[in-house]
Homo-oligomer: A and B are copies of this chain.
Amino acid sequence: MTHPAPALDIRSDICWSDETSVTVLGRDLCEDLIGSVDLGTFAYLLLTERMPSEAEAALFNAALVSLVEHGVTPNVLATRMTYLGAPESLQSAVAAGLLGLGTRFVGTIEGSARYLADGLVALGPEATDDAVRAEAARIVAGFREQRAHVPGVGHPVHTPVDPRAEALLGLADRLGFPGTAGRLVRAVAAAASEASGRHLPVNVTGAIGACVVLLGVDWRIARGMGVIARTIGLVGHLREELAQPIATTVWNVSDESASRHLRG
């Protein structure tokens, strides 16, 4: 005797479709979205469940644009290496590159967005410079206690500032967003620099952390903004790999170099 098939009771409110329409978060995809909204605006809707204001759309697009490219990075190499072995599966090559967006690089968006979100709740909207500095000191002390890097500050190449961070924080100001998030991330960078004795500017993920808070994106999915942006960059690298491949050379030279001491 077999038990009857159990019922599956779940719910999703994002999208449903019937014969003649597709509805996304209450809007008709074909009538109201295709041809009317740009990709960044639509992404904002999916990440927050509401349409952005003009300023929000501008800042959100800018934050994504700032993360799309940074040269031949480890994830670009993972993507191009994967494409070499599985050129029939472009999606796998992109996925391979995304898998490295963990705690060391893009994942720091999450960390900075989290402490900025918590800090702004603690500070309230009208915080004095002293209050911002005190909160920054508290944040930095928390990371140092756990012997952890402060996410969102410092960069191995860009100095004295990360120009992407400056571009984003400047844009947020010009668009009229409240200044406390930017002030706090700058104060964190200053406090981290003082505590470590090294110059640690706000970096791009710190500035995006500030944007995440200003835009009302949940910090728990903030890393997703980096994932979206890097997906575009990785497809761009596959376009170039087709015309001007590097994967085979990197492989052959790496294998030769790695094993040459074994060859006598």
Contact = CB atoms under 8 A, between A and B. Distances in A.
Interface string A78-102: 1001111111111111111011111
10 contacts: A7-B7, A8-B254, A10-B250, A35-B58, A35-B62, A37-B65, A42-B65, A75-B81, A91-B102, A246-B258
Given A17-B157, A221-B242, A72 B12 contact: yes
Interface in A95-127: 95-96, 98-107, 110
Given A46-B232, A91-B106, A167-B30, A15 B70 contact: yes
A247 interface: yes
Interface residues of A, number: 133
Number of copies: 4
Given A164-B34, A254-B8, A102 B74 contact: no
A163 B42 contact: no
A87 B101 contact: no
Contact of A88 (B102, B231, B258): B102
A134 interface: no
Q: Is the interface of A mostly helix, strand, loop or mixed?
A: helix
Given A72-B259, A93-B99, A102-B91, A43 B39 contact: yes
A224 interface: yes
A208 B21 CA distance: 17
Sorted nearest first, the 3 A-B pairs with minimum C-beta distance are A86-B102, A85-B100, A46-B236
Nearest to A168: B34
Contacts of A253: 6-8
Given A35-B171, A94-B98, 12 more contacts: A9-B257, A34-B164, A35-B62, A37-B61, A39-B65, A46-B235, A78-B96, A85-B99, A92-B95, A92-B102, A96-B100, A218-B242
